[in-house]
Structure 1
Amino acid sequence: MHMNSAPHLLTEDRAEYERILDDALRNAHDRPDLTSVGKRLNAEQLRTMALNATALITSAAAAEYEYFVKVREEQRSPSTSPVRNSVLGPAVGDEDEDGAGAGFGAVLTVLAPILAGTAAVIFLLVGYVMKALSPEPAFAETLVTVGWFFGALTAAGLLAAAVGLLIAALRNGATQVPAEEAGGELPDEVARAKEAWRHALLERGVVPFLRAALADPSADPASSVPPRPVNRIPKIGYSGPDFSSPSEGSSATSRPTFTSPDFTSPDFGPPEHRPE
């Protein structure tokens, strides 16, 4: 990011910029230089002007904003996010030390009760149908026994799944508070950088702009051109060369003069007239 140019305000920070602007307009009468809000220009007109000049205003706090974005991105990177790793666990595709997939146990815990329950229903249904026949087939009792066996496996699988969920909830309970803090409160360094940017944007950007707009009688609320008295941002460009005009009274004497060349004709004539 170039410090001499208006920074590009990220979309996620535009709401914060508008919040700072609204707070400044809301508390304008607490500042002696902004007490004229509402006389010639009201708060809504000033807000429109400031939103049209967002790039100009935010450039006043370009250094603080660049540092804030840098620190925030460093905190968001996976290498510096232990809370994320502790809450979410290993990434998808990681394997346990014994080589088995990390999700194999979870898949087995879910599928075992389903398969066992399905087998129990089939065997019990077929077994009792066979027992209703006359004469009763010899393997009808065996089918019923196998069905109750799978029924017991289903109950055991459901119990194991419930215990597993309870253990997971207890294990993740210790990381619940850090996770909420990570989502609701910023780390100390990021919070300090954000507060420094907010303060610089308010004092060096928003307030001087509003002051200049109130002092400029030609300020147009619908225009994106900033008020003329705004001189808080260093100008970027090149000044023209300094040409000085000639001093008075020397124009007549300083003009160059030219004289015509003095040509003489060659001497032609008889020998007695030739120069000796």
Structure 2
Amino acid sequence: MEFERVLQCALEVVDIRSALRRDPTGRAARRLRDLALEATEEIASAAADEYRDYLAARETRDAREAAEGGLWPVLAVLTPVVAAVAAAVLLLIGYGARLAEVATGFATSVVTAGWVLALTAAVTACIGLWALLRTALRQREGTSECREPAGGTDVDRARERWRQALLERGLLPYLRSHLVADA
């Protein structure tokens, strides 16, 4: 997917875009894109060192996040589920006891506990969805641009170096050589 984004950026470079506009049918652009996708490994080898650096930075970050994350991600997923199931069970038992008119004090306590757990499930589900949305938006920032802003984390910088190497040493020379061959 990332390769295709960089390929799209390469196809938008001025000289390549100008050459492709000479074909009014648009077949040349599709053909060139298909050729590049078929030669992904060959093209990507031009930026292999930068890609290894990017993978290493990503693995380091993931290991650090796994060590730092610990129990929170597990709790974020399990708390709403467990609370909802427990709430359903307690509410069924409590309302069942009320209908049977058995142990009224017990039934009231169980129903109250069920509603507290239902509220807990709703609140923790909302918090989990908010965290998921925030993470997704953070991940999406800058991905539509051909060039991402400088700075960011080590992973962002390594990824940008890889993308630039892929573009400049891999895709652009490949696309230009195939444009010349077609002319």
Alignment TM-score, normalising by the size of structure 2: 0.66
Distance 1:56 1:167 in 2: 50
**Counterpart in the other structure of 2:180:** 215
Deviation at 1:72, TM superposition (A): 1.9
Classify 1:168/1:211 alpha carbon distance in 2 versus 1 (closer, same or farther; 3 Å): closer
Q: CA RMSD in A?
A: 3.7
Aligned mate of 1:60, from 38, 42, 46: 46
| Counterpart code for 2:163 | R
CA contact (8 A) 1:34 1:211 kept: no
Distance 1:211 1:162 in 2: 62
CA contact (8 A) 1:64 1:197 kept: yes
Distance 1:163 1:21 in 2: 49
Larger Rg: 1
CA contact (8 A) 1:113 1:158 kept: yes
CA contact (8 A) 1:120 1:149 kept: no
Deviation at 1:63, TM superposition (A): 0.7
Count, aligned residues = 164
Classify 1:58/1:120 alpha carbon distance in 2 versus 1 (closer, same or farther; 3 Å): same
CA deviations over 1:213-233 (Å, ceiling 9, x no partner): 12235x9xxxxxxxxxxxxxx
| Counterpart code for 2:61 | Q
Q: Which runs of 5+ in 1 are unaligned?
A: 1-14, 93-101, 124-145, 220-276
| Counterpart code for 2:155 | V
Distance 1:25 1:84 in 2: 43
**Counterpart in the other structure of 2:92:** 114
Deviation at 1:47, TM superposition (A): 1.3
Distance 2:154 2:107 in 1: 57
| Seq. identity, % | 29
Deviation at 1:57, TM superposition (A): 0.7
Distance 2:50 2:136 in 1: 23
Residue pairs, 1:73-222, within 5 angstroms:
73-77=59-63, 79-81=64-66, 82-83=68-69, 85-89=71-75, 106=83, 110-123=88-101, 146=102, 148-165=104-121, 168=124, 172=127, 176-177=130-131, 179-186=132-139, 188-216=153-181
CA contact (8 A) 2:32 2:178 kept: yes
Higher helix share: 2
Classify 1:39/1:153 alpha carbon distance in 2 versus 1 (closer, same or farther; 3 Å): closer
Residue 57 of structure 2 aligns to a residue whose secondary structure is helix
Deviation at 1:207, TM superposition (A): 0.7
**Counterpart in the other structure of 2:33:** 47
Deviation at 1:193, TM superposition (A): 1.4
Q: Which runs of 5+ in 2 are unaligned?
A: 140-151
| Counterpart code for 1:185 | R
